[in-house]
Amino acid sequence: MKKSLLGLLLATALVVPAFAAKGDTSINAKLGLGVNSNVAVSGAMITGKDDEFYELKTDMPFMLGAEFFYGTSDNLSIGFGANYVFDADSKALSKYGGGTTNIYVAIKPEAKIESNIFTSLYLIGQFGLSFGRTDSDIEGDALSINRGLYLGAGFGVTIKDAVFVELIFSSCNGKLKADGIQLGDIQYNITSVNVGYKFNI
């Protein structure tokens, strides 16, 4: 999966610049807050049944992110990005805590707005890899998380063609292990509000 994603990133970087002159090309920097987040874990060793998930609400995590978009037209941009989700503790189980780093390709269809304040409304879709981490343990056995699929979707608004505000739902997936033994799947779901700045280039 990692090789496929890197190939897609390379193809994006090589092919899309030919169309960049048709729309905006930008670098985005943003700060986010996870207003609703939870960690869901499956596996017989945790839940008693392989097909059930045990869910833990977490504290609100902070996020930092950066993206690079090529405008293929006035109404469509594609690119890639990364974000770092700072560690957050579980509200129900104080000894569990963790975060994730995600890299992804993204597509952003948008509609221009004729306004003195707002420049555009847009949707955003993200697909990539999630690299989860935790410093927790189960009965003394250190936990670790293997990389997995990252998915994100949401919408946003651009103000004065510079500042933007987004609402994004993301799902960060992986495999939870204890001292190398796989316990089950882990899914970190975050609904975040992001505020950022768009640098047109």
Average of pLDDT values for 153-162? Answer: 94
Is 187 part of any domain? yes
**Number of structural domains in the chain:** 1
Cβ–Cβ contacts within 10 Å for residue 104, how many?
24
Is 8 part of any domain? no
Per-residue confidence band for 186, with pLDDT thresholds at 50, 70 and 90: confident
What confidence score (pLDDT) does residue 79 get? 95
The reply to whether the predicted model has a pTM over 0.85 is: no
CA 81 to chain centre: 9
Is 15 part of any domain? no
Q: Which domain holds residue 46?
A: 32-200
Q: For residue 171, give the CATH number of its domain.
A: 2.40.160.20
Is 6 part of any domain? no
Closest CA to 96 of 51, 145, 150, 129: 145
CA atoms within 13 A on the CB side of 10: 6
Q: For residue 87, what are its two tokens?
A: 């560690």
- In the predicted structure, residue 11 carries a pLDDT above the cut 60: no
Region label for 14, one of left (φ > 0), alpha (ψ between -120 and 50) or beta (otherwise): alpha
Percent over 70 (pLDDT), the chain: 78
Contacts by residues 9-13 (CB-CB < 8 Å, ≥ 24 positions apart): 9/80, 9/105, 12/70, 12/78, 12/79, 12/80, 12/105, 13/80
Average of pLDDT values for 101-130? Answer: 94
Range in 14-18, 45-49, 142-146, 183-187 the model is least confident about? 14-18
Is 45 part of any domain? yes
Is 5 part of any domain? no
Per-residue confidence band for 124, with pLDDT thresholds at 50, 70 and 90: very high
What confidence score (pLDDT) does residue 8 get? 47
Range in 128-132, 142-146, 169-173 the model is least confident about? 142-146
What confidence score (pLDDT) does residue 19 get? 45
Is 170 part of any domain? yes
Is 48 in a helix, a strand, or coil? coil
Each residue of 28-79: pLDDT tens digit? 999 999 988 888 877 655 555 555 667 778 888 999 999 999 999 889 999 9
Per-residue confidence band for 20, with pLDDT thresholds at 50, 70 and 90: very low
Is 195 part of any domain? yes
Q: How far apart are CA 129 and CA 175, in angstroms?
A: 13
Identify the residue whose tokens are 């056995």.
141
Is 21 in a helix, a strand, or coil? helix
Range in 53-57, 86-90, 109-113 the model is least confident about? 53-57
185: exposed, middle or buried (Cβ count in 10 Å: 0-12, 13-18, 19+) = middle
Average pLDDT, the chain: 82
